[in-house]
A = this chain, B = another copy of it.
Amino acid sequence: MAALSLLSLLLILLLPLCLLFLLSLIVRPRPVKIPINDRHVFVTGGSSGIGLAIAHRAASEGARVSILARSQAKLDEAKQAIQLATGVDVATFSADVRDFDALRRATEEAGPVDVLVVNHGVYLPGELATQELDEVRFMIDVNLIGSFNMIKAFLPAMKARTDRRPASVVLMSSQAGQVGIYGYTAYCASKFGLRGLAEALQQEIIADDIHVSLVLPPDTDTPGLAEENKRRPPLSSIIAATSTAMKADQVAEKTLNGIKSGSFIVPCNSVGYLIAFATAGLSPQRSYIMASVEVVCAGISRLAGLFILWSWYSSIEKWYAQRKK
């Protein structure tokens, strides 16, 4: 009997060790370290919010930073703010990401980029039934097609780069890019789309030692969020409250850490990790430790997800029942 217990104990210890060992052998793409210091980091939507925080952090870590946004005025403010805080001079580029020719001019002016942070985004919440199609098209054009434009414009120089250290393409997604949320049909569509782009793109550019990262923040304290909050449907707030809001600088920190470790999926808070486990799907995982955690937690994460859905749909039911009275 003691022998049986000892055997089962050995198995309980051995199984996870075997799993860890197996995963350390098979995780692809292989782990990579992507330095930021002395590299050229280019950030779209870099004049405010998360983009500005990323630009700021990258500058203070010794990167050469460029920021792109539509408004020259906001770019100048951002440039000044970073100058005052870090002494670093960032280059500014004024362009709309929907304008491919403007982006091509920017890439010629900016020179080769090592870390492309496609961070820009717009979000206009509203139930699809009442939302104007112009707003839907706006979000998809800017968030999704704008990201394709950026990558098309900047990828050639990245592929042809003389600095053969690993490079990075970073896409700013959202927790709304992992799970659909009431009032965000178009935003979710654009952010889910980024993941499809990212998963396919990584297979296409791995041979050029370029590594794709998808960052998945929750609500983040930014000017953008303040605007969005004014028009968020009440039910969206109830549902989005599942995840706590973060500061832009915290998201920037997680982003840079994710970039430097070449992580494909970069969650930003604990709920983010839970959702990442549940939605791991067929995303690549370079860390054999994270891979082991994903495998072990997959089932319980799906169960947690089903509980979250139970909570959401119950809230929706309750809301509509109250409205009817």
Contacts and interface: CB of A to CB of B under 8 A. Distances in A.
A251 to B, nearest CB: 20
Chain A binding surface SS class: helix
A295 B303 contact: yes
Interface stretch (A34-42, A51-59, A201-209, A216-224): A201-209
A207 B303 CA distance: 24
Given A27-B310, A28-B310, A207-B317, 4 more contacts: A100-B133, A128-B204, A137-B148, A275-B281
B29 A129 contact: no
Interface string A184-221: 11111111111111111111111100000000000000
Interface stretch (A74-82, A86-94, A149-157): A149-157
Most chain B CB within 10 A, of A28, A100, A205, is at A28
Contacts of A303: 19, 295
B26 A310 contact: yes
Interface stretch (A62-70, A114-122, A175-183): A175-183
A28 B314 contact: yes
Copies of this chain held together in the complex = 2
Contacts of A128: 148, 151-152, 155, 200-201, 204
Interface string A245-268: 000000000000000000000000
B284 A309 contact: yes
3 cross-chain pairs, A with B, having the tightest CB-CB distances, nearest first: A180-B199, A192-B196, A188-B196
A262 to B, nearest CB: 13
Contacts of A278: 280-282
B312 A28 contact: yes
A189 B310 contact: no
A296 B299 contact: yes
A190 B186 contact: no
A72 B283 CA distance: 41
A260 B237 CA distance: 32
A189 B144 contact: yes
